[in-house]
Structure 1
Amino acid sequence: MAILVYAEHDNASLKKATLNTIAAAKQMGDEVHVLVAGRGNQAVADEAAKAEGVSKVLLADNAAYEHQMAENIALLVVSIADGYSHIIAPATTTGKNFMPRVAALLDVSMISDITAVIDAHTFERPIYAGNATATVKTTEDKIVLTVRTTGFDPVADTGGTATIETIDNVQESGKASFVNEEMAKSDRPELTSARIVVSGGRALANGENFTKYIEPLADKLGAAIGASRAAVDAGYVPNDMQVGQTGKIVAPDLYIAAGISGAIQHLAGMKDSKVIVAINNDSDAPIASVADYFLEADLFTALPELTSKL
């Protein structure tokens, strides 16, 4: 049977998380289908059809799916689930929202946040804030799981020649309606897909220092800005900038941590970064254990100097 991957998108373009999820799906089987549900999203379907390893794209274009509300998306996925052995989504806000509903409606267990595929029924996933890895094997006839996208390299976004099939099966629960959304607008890259991330911690002392010290460096590098939970809880920056177990999981090519001690909660969200640079005046800070480069220095001196040298 084929494998169904739910596409992460904004109705205009496909998000990179989908390409990582397709890579995971390819390790479970040869035939991968991608579901693109939204409104006015033909361009997304065209983009998904070009992804490496995709044999078919299912396009559900309807007002009921415009905001990808979990109540409606879960019903849609369940309505087409019979033809699939695996149903997979990225472990993003959207995936974490509707996939448990899918599992419940199908009356099967769910495996969340996998980081490796052993075989089509056996997977690895982090536990205890990433301090241990569990190997999980399921005997379910239909496997529902989410993928930690940082655990898989994305497939190529070109070269594929998948067919696109339109789904007219509209599923609307009638139990919830979209009211409004407030989107944070920024010229910087999105945190979870950025190649470079500059994060600040509680040592910055206030939000003004994020603007004064972190933002200039991020702008020079074309980087996204992140923060530790301590900085978010203190009100220095909004919670959508939090990196960690209870925030966003990132794995950029370069991660710069300034004034972050490296609590387990934070390390769980960034330790898979390709190169980690830490700036801290405490040489015994836990983040030193995962850093490729550790600069023991006052961040208020080091950051301006680093920014000026770029």
Structure 2
Amino acid sequence: CPDPVPLKPEYNRYYLSGQVWPAPNPAVAETHFWLAKPLPGGGRFLINASFPYGWDGGGRLLLHNGVDAAEPLGTPVLAAADGVVVVAQADMNAWYGWRCDWYGHLVVVEHDARWFGQPVYTLYGHVLNISVEVGQRVQQGEPVAEVGFGGAATAAHLHFEVRLGSNEFSSTRNPMLWIHPGETRGVIAGRLLDPEGRPWQGVTIHLLDENGDIAATTWSYLDDPLHYINPDEGLAENFVFSDVVPGDYTAYVELQDVIYRQPVTVTAGEVALLEVRTEPYRAPEP
């Protein structure tokens, strides 16, 4: 376990990175909605939209490496796809997250399907009553634990992560690009960049419907000194809108006193791609 416990870094909002963001890779850009909702009931996977992947809850929390779904204590937690359990334990004395005792109890499954040669893992955090053991095979939809709390969580919910390449806290990807959105919703994978391809971090992005009303709000990915947040290799996104009703929308961004509007059409069961290129950065006047 890390000693001393890591301190929460400062995250910069409305900040232009000095590093060029990865470009989309058409060779690996195919949709990978391999995973099913890890909770009962099927259909839509509803998450806390105020604390999405890559955001810190407006400065209150550490950068989020997954997504959270509020469910009653004891709700079954289900394997998102077929695979083998590689972790099923408490993490009081084990370092799987930001620090030890980060999840309380967790289950990690390494899935049978690989992504261009890389292993895919899903992590189920803050769980209780774990019902599987390391080495056990599980099938999609099979219970592995129950919704609980513990570690960094004081209220019952499921924390869900996708890890790609290795079972490391630094290897996460946005889960909403992996979980099937259901037959009545779609997903937007977006990029907010300057003309040189550098990402804007911590910027508020609104999704406006055809009436000009705000249908959803998200934020471009923040960064930290250890670069814990990662884009999809194919899509190279730095923000995501999930659980979007199919239709025509406009992404709305206000940045450095300039308003940007970019249309996007969402189709059920698919990922819509969106890119907003801003004007060059303007240094504040003294």
TM more than 0.5: no
Higher relative contact order (CA 8 A, sep 6+): 2
Higher CA-based Rg: 1
TM-score with structure 1 setting the length: 0.23
TM-score with structure 2 setting the length: 0.25
